[in-house]
Chain A
Amino acid sequence: MSQPSLSEALRGVVRRDLLLAMRRRSDVAMSVFFVVIVASLFPLGVGPEQAVLRMIASGVLWVTALLACLLSLGRLFTADYLDGVLEQTLLIPQPLAVLVVGKMFSHWVISGLPVVLLSPLLGLQFGLSGDSLWVLTLSLLLGTPTLSMIGAIGAALTLGLRGSGLLVALLVLPLFIPVLIFGAGAVTSSVAGIGSEANLSLLGACFMLSLAFAPWATAVALRIALE
């Protein structure tokens, strides 16, 4: 029997995760509803004044997306770890880092992509319009996969530990901060009328950097956790 190619293994990992998520559609729904509810809390807390909301929109929406990613990190490896599939994955001849990219991608599709698709609506709630909505969506499109990739490192390091939910947050939030700064900064500068290209390119750089290093770091962390 011939060994499956790298792309086949990758596709297999993604297909499996997406299939499992489809069977428990509540996972996708949870991300969506969390973002909607939390984003609605801020106007309730701050007041409905349009000018204020437009000013805080970028920060609020970005932090909400960040929290949604953070809360869903527990699901990234835990299920596979508990039923033994993760150990098997470590034994597959294909490089673990590539398989990890597959897991990160499916994690993003399940919890990040819905947020990206929902963001124009949320932006409207906060009084953003036209160009800023577009920048918001684009920044989240670049940012949420980056957050998934960086978050995976934390999820792998804390695999199976008690209290790992809070611990992952503490480990991963300092790593999230540059992405938050550039992402929210893009929307802020768009609202202010300055160009958002600089922030978006820096966001893109973060994406590239995490694509280059996060899968490998996550693979190392997984091996450490499972020895």
Chain B
Amino acid sequence: MGHGRCVTYCIGIRHLRMSTTGTNWFKYSSPQAFHPLAGRLIPWFAAAALGLSGIGLYMGFFVAPTDATQGDAYRIIFVHVPAAWMSMFLYVIMAVWAGIGLGLNARPSFMMAQAIAPTGALFTFLALLTGSMWGKPTWGAWWVWDARLTSELILLFQYIGIILLRSSIDDLRRADRASAVLALVGVINVPIIYFSVRWWNTLHQGASVSITAAPSMAGTMVTAMLVMTLAFWMYSFAVTLARMRCVIVERERQPSWGKPAAIPDVAEAR
């Protein structure tokens, strides 16, 4: 009874969407339709990523002035901060897809989460590496247990945990749902970790000082940083969509969740 009403409601929404916008967006929620759509979008995101990084790097190296206290070493923030922001942003997005997948029992949502994880882990690693590179000339040590770097380290562990859990489970459905649960539990942990590590830092005075850019950053510095962040974001879109396409094709090989091969190119190729 409830299911019937839900189906009618959903179909009603689809009709509404078709009448207002002329396109039915719901059809892209199936892997076979998503595959070509993603294929068409990727070049645009890639171009945007390259263009924006060009602008960002130009601004970062040739427009932004040398910092008074940190010299030219501060320019590392033009990759460090965007990488750190993307690592956290992607984790949250991944958790959102995981939650949607669990809530709606939707396979494509799980696939999206699966596609995001490696890119997020990469950005976390880069944030740590560049943070270390920044810390050495600024604070004299390769690694400082600063609240933000330590939180990034733990975030990396969480990403790796999700990826490893998925690869340890053979059954696709269980793998999808287990890594989704882990992602959701982890996303709750992220603010708790950040708070507790900052607490821990204040408790142990003199352990380190925070690697924050000087509070008064020149306008050009901020702009360059934001442009680079946007560039990384476009890059993430491109790579994640490309990986999603791989996941879709790979899954078509194993009719899991009881579905036969449905993508036209794949079916044709067979």
Chain A interface (Cβ within 8 Å of chain B)? 153, 157-158, 161-164, 167, 170-171, 173-175, 177-178, 181-182, 185, 188-189, 199, 202, 213, 217, 220-221, 224-225, 227
Contacts and interface: CB of A to CB of B under 8 A. Distances in A.
Given A174-B158, A227-B174, A220 B186 contact: no
B165 interface: yes
- A interface majority secondary structure: helix
Given A157-B165, A185-B203, 9 more contacts: A170-B164, A174-B186, A177-B196, A181-B200, A182-B199, A188-B204, A224-B174, A227-B173, A227-B174
B160 A170 contact: yes
Contact of A157 (B158, B182, B189): B182
Interface in B172-193: 173-174, 177-178, 181-182, 185-186, 188-189, 192-193
A185 B198 CA distance: 12
B118 interface: no
Contacts of A162: 168
Interface hub of B158, B168, B195 (most chain A Cβ within 10 A): B168
A170 B185 contact: no
- B interface majority secondary structure: helix
B interface residue count range (under 10 / 10 to 19 / 20 to 34 / 35 or more): 20 to 34
Given A181-B199, A227-B174, A157 B154 contact: no
A185 B181 contact: no
Nearest to A217: B185
A78 to B, nearest CB: 15
A178 B193 contact: yes
B196 A171 contact: no
Contact of A221 (B154, B157, B178): B178
Contact of A174 (B154, B203, B204): B154
A217 B158 CA distance: 17
Nearest to B192: A178
B168 A161 contact: yes
B169 interface: yes
Given A174-B186, A175-B185, A181 B196 contact: yes
A158 B186 contact: no
Given A170-B157, A177-B193, A158 B173 contact: no
Nearest to B150: A177
A174 B193 contact: yes
Contacts of A181: 196-197, 199-200
B154 A167 contact: no
Nearest to A176: B189
Contact of A177 (B154, B181, B182): B154
B181 A221 contact: yes
Contacts of B192: 178
A182 B161 CA distance: 23
Nearest to A221: B181
